[in-house]
Structure 1
Amino acid sequence: MKQDEQYQIPKDKNVTKTGLDILYTSQVDRNVTDENLEMKILSLKHLLEKDPKAADLKWSLFVAASNTYRYDSCLKPFPPMYIKNECKDIEALRRAIESVPSLPLIYKELNEASVYENYSEMIELLYWVLIRLRDPHIKSVQKENYDSILKKVPLEMPVTPPNLIFQVASAKQSTIEEKWKSSATNYSTLYAYHGSRLENFHSIVHYGLQQNMCKRSQFGKGIYLSSELGVSLPYSPVGYGWGGSLLGSEISCIALCELIDHPDIKRGDSRDSAQNRLIDSVGGKIPDKYFIVTNSDLVRIRYLLVYTQNLHTTSTTDNSGLLAWFKQHKLLTFVLGYVVLLASVGLTQNKQVEKYYRLFIQKAGFE
């Protein structure tokens, strides 16, 4: 594990909050005592032991949001310890992320007495992402329950099932969840899928689907969902998450959402023109299998369906070797390979090298 210099937490207690960018500043510990340090380490150990795949997914979504050029809109909430003078120090955050090894290796290191002295920045960041951002929380679903979850939306089109399913659960006293349940009192609910790019899911999980963040508007402005998984899948291309992930570095996500069947939800299977068309639509009637939600308060994410390219079968895999380093630094590996290629081409044109090469061939008896 790489040791980084300890970062400085901003002295300003109140950091400006703009729009949805809630920074959770009140939850950041500014004075590390032996007692709360021990609590942080124990909390991380408990989570990594209890549900390593859920922790891995949450961290992978955070990393994907951090590494996109659209981090200013995708990385919400943003870790407050990397805000200096109200400016986001994304480069310092990315360097810290680069130093984080696989979660099984972190779990082993957390048993060492000097772990905080050596890896304080990494522990604080992991604790903020995996523990502090606890509402909602992500937890793994057992494979025997996959079918019952997928049957919440009966499919007519054959489609590849997800490799993993995770539940997005609200805290017991979540005001947002209570508000949603209150709004659903006089209405039925239904389930539908929503596809989006991987880097968007960090903010989607913590703030829900927001109408003003959706760019698709051919059939009107709103949150687009579908009753067919195959319709939503193309909107969730494979993205690069985290090189040290147990799930694989390349994954894609689909949100399975619960909707209140309210008049503000427009649907393509309705025969009522007031329900199957939006005023600002340029494409006419909403297509079958589509829903468009014009009120963000009517939809809640219940599950994340994850498609993986290279799922590790064990949580005890040690990714600290040379191969893991290459996986986590693909761009640098490519550049090094290119340099080696150029050097090889240059050497083949060198007469002195050619002379020794022919001498070697003769000595070896190949001529």
Structure 2
Amino acid sequence: MEDSTVSLYKCSVVEHEIMTELFEELDSDIIACDFKFTIFVAAAVSSDRGILLKPMPPMYINNDRTFNFDGLLEVIKVTPKFRDLHYYLKTEQFLQCSIDVIILLHWLLVLDSTPSIRYLNESDFEDFLSNTEGTIAPTNVFEICYDSESEIERTFQNRGEQYGFQFGFYGFDGPEQCFSVLCSGSLNPMNSNNNAASIYLTMNVIPCLNRSSYKPCWPQSICGTMLKCVAICQYISRPEYVQHLNDDNDVLIQLSEVVRPRYLIFFAANPARLPVASDTFFEDDSRAAADISQEIEDEPVPKISSNSGRRYMVFGFSAVTLAASLYVFKNNSLGLKDLLDYNIKDIFNRFSNIFDKFLTKIL
């Protein structure tokens, strides 16, 4: 029997309705929508996509229950930037929108919306204020919002009230693992039938990043095209399943059911410039129209220093000293190129204070 979701999309009378619903979803939180599609694409192009791309879009499941990955990848290839798509839908330029793209995104962002995700901007961190130095700041932070009335979430909360909750960091090998983790609420997408598979968490984000590498994602993404991913997880401190290691800096958890990812944090090698809040993303429609199909350009941000006067001293350096410094960096003479990479400095400059306060509050 043909899947009801596929049948729905074959009826042309609902095309305007699904475009309207997709527009409303993009309009409410375009960055969160972009993020979800970005990790979906990462899973779709992964060599482990048969495991990681769950759930699979029903319109790409063949009659023999095999997956039409080639057809899916063709649609991904022609998916426009989300700010362009938002503009097309808002101005009802429907001929600019591939119906296959609309169907895929409507399924992913509207129909398959549990759990929901929320982009956290600066105002969302105001409740986590404190002054902590030395934490690496992410490019983007997303909150995973589970259905509070679901049996899984209620059971988790009830057990946590009995044994207590704690937080830790979980590092992904790459963003391709995030989609199935987001949809399942489990940190074991590769071992979905083994709840006893061990999970390692750390109390510091840096070891997670050291074990990860930047991996390519959707080229049109607002969030960046080369990403590292870390989850902030809440776990139940149930002694028979939780073991603290290395002076309590690491945690070994032997039952995945006592762990829930609560936030996904991303570190971009080439971050795009983001708006402060998604609901003001298209305040100026004429400006949005002029920006269609243009690449997002990064703007360099001055390096943050504990002594603000130091930034002004840079301008006093001689041309010879500057040239020598650039030569050392370009040729990695001191072995520090990765630490001084522009994109990492950009991440520190724009978000470090916000994320330091956020981590101190939840951990």
- Aligned partner (choices 268, 272, 288) of residue 311 of structure 1: 272
Aligned-partner residue type, residue 40 of structure 2: F
Equivalent-residue separation in structure 2 for 1:267 and 1:147 (angstroms): 33
2:31 equivalent in structure 1: 53
2:16 equivalent in structure 1: 38
> Is 2:242 the partner of 1:266?
yes
Query: Are the aligned partners of 2:139 and 2:271 in contact in 1 as well (CA < 8 Å)?
Result: no
Equivalent-residue separation in structure 2 for 1:113 and 1:165 (angstroms): 31
Where in structure 2 are the equivalents of 1:196-211 lying within 5 Å? 196=172, 197-211=174-188
**CA apart distance, 1:47:** 1.6
Aligned-partner residue type, residue 182 of structure 2: V
C-alpha offsets along residues 192-236 of structure 1, whole Å, 9 cap, x if unaligned? Answer: 110101110001111123447369xxxx95011111111222233
Query: Are the aligned partners of 1:65 and 1:74 in contact in 2 as well (CA < 8 Å)?
Result: yes
- Aligned partner (choices 124, 127, 139) of residue 118 of structure 2: 139
1:251 equivalent in structure 2: 227
1:115 equivalent in structure 2: 94
- Aligned partner (choices 252, 258, 272) of residue 292 of structure 1: 252
Query: Are the aligned partners of 2:148 and 2:154 in contact in 1 as well (CA < 8 Å)?
Result: no
1:320 equivalent in structure 2: 293
Q: Which SS does the other structure have where 2:118 is aligned?
A: strand
Aligned-partner residue type, residue 177 of structure 2: N
2:69 equivalent in structure 1: 90
> Is 2:197 the partner of 1:224?
no
Alpha-carbon spacing, 1:183–1:58, altered in 2? closer, same or farther (3 Å): same
Alpha-carbon spacing, 1:202–1:139, altered in 2? closer, same or farther (3 Å): same
Alpha-carbon spacing, 1:188–1:67, altered in 2? closer, same or farther (3 Å): same
1:72 equivalent in structure 2: 50
Query: Are the aligned partners of 2:171 and 2:229 in contact in 1 as well (CA < 8 Å)?
Result: yes
Equivalent-residue separation in structure 2 for 1:306 and 1:226 (angstroms): 17
Q: Which SS does the other structure have where 1:186 is aligned?
A: helix
Q: Relative contact order, CA 8 A, sep 6+: which one is greater?
A: 2
Query: Are the aligned partners of 1:214 and 1:223 in contact in 2 as well (CA < 8 Å)?
Result: no
Equivalent-residue separation in structure 2 for 1:203 and 1:260 (angstroms): 22
Alpha-carbon spacing, 1:148–1:113, altered in 2? closer, same or farther (3 Å): closer
Aligned-partner residue type, residue 51 of structure 2: S
Q: Which SS does the other structure have where 2:50 is aligned?
A: helix
Identity among equivalent pairs (%): 23
Query: Are the aligned partners of 2:119 and 2:142 in contact in 1 as well (CA < 8 Å)?
Result: yes
Q: Which SS does the other structure have where 2:158 is aligned?
A: helix
1:188 equivalent in structure 2: 164
Aligned-partner residue type, residue 253 of structure 2: V
How big is the alpha-carbon RMSD for the aligned residues of Structure 1 and Structure 2?
3.0
In terms of Rg, which structure is larger?
Answer: 1
Equivalent-residue separation in structure 1 for 2:201 and 2:127 (angstroms): 20
Structure 1 length-normalised TM: 0.68
Query: Are the aligned partners of 2:140 and 2:223 in contact in 1 as well (CA < 8 Å)?
Result: no
User: Structure 2, unaligned stretches of length 5 or more?
Assistant: 276-280, 283-287, 297-363
Alpha-carbon spacing, 1:176–1:221, altered in 2? closer, same or farther (3 Å): closer
**CA apart distance, 1:312:** 2.2
Alpha-carbon spacing, 1:40–1:261, altered in 2? closer, same or farther (3 Å): same
**CA apart distance, 1:244:** 0.8
1:126 equivalent in structure 2: 105
C-alpha offsets along residues 167-211 of structure 1, whole Å, 9 cap, x if unaligned? Answer: 100124323212212322311101111010111000111112344
The number of equivalent residue pairs is 278
Q: Which SS does the other structure have where 2:22 is aligned?
A: helix
Alpha-carbon spacing, 1:212–1:201, altered in 2? closer, same or farther (3 Å): closer
C-alpha offsets along residues 60-89 of structure 1, whole Å, 9 cap, x if unaligned? Answer: 000111111111111111111111121111
1:356 equivalent in structure 2: none
Alpha-carbon spacing, 1:176–1:236, altered in 2? closer, same or farther (3 Å): farther
Aligned-partner residue type, residue 154 of structure 2: E
Alpha-carbon spacing, 1:146–1:230, altered in 2? closer, same or farther (3 Å): farther
Aligned-partner residue type, residue 45 of structure 1: F
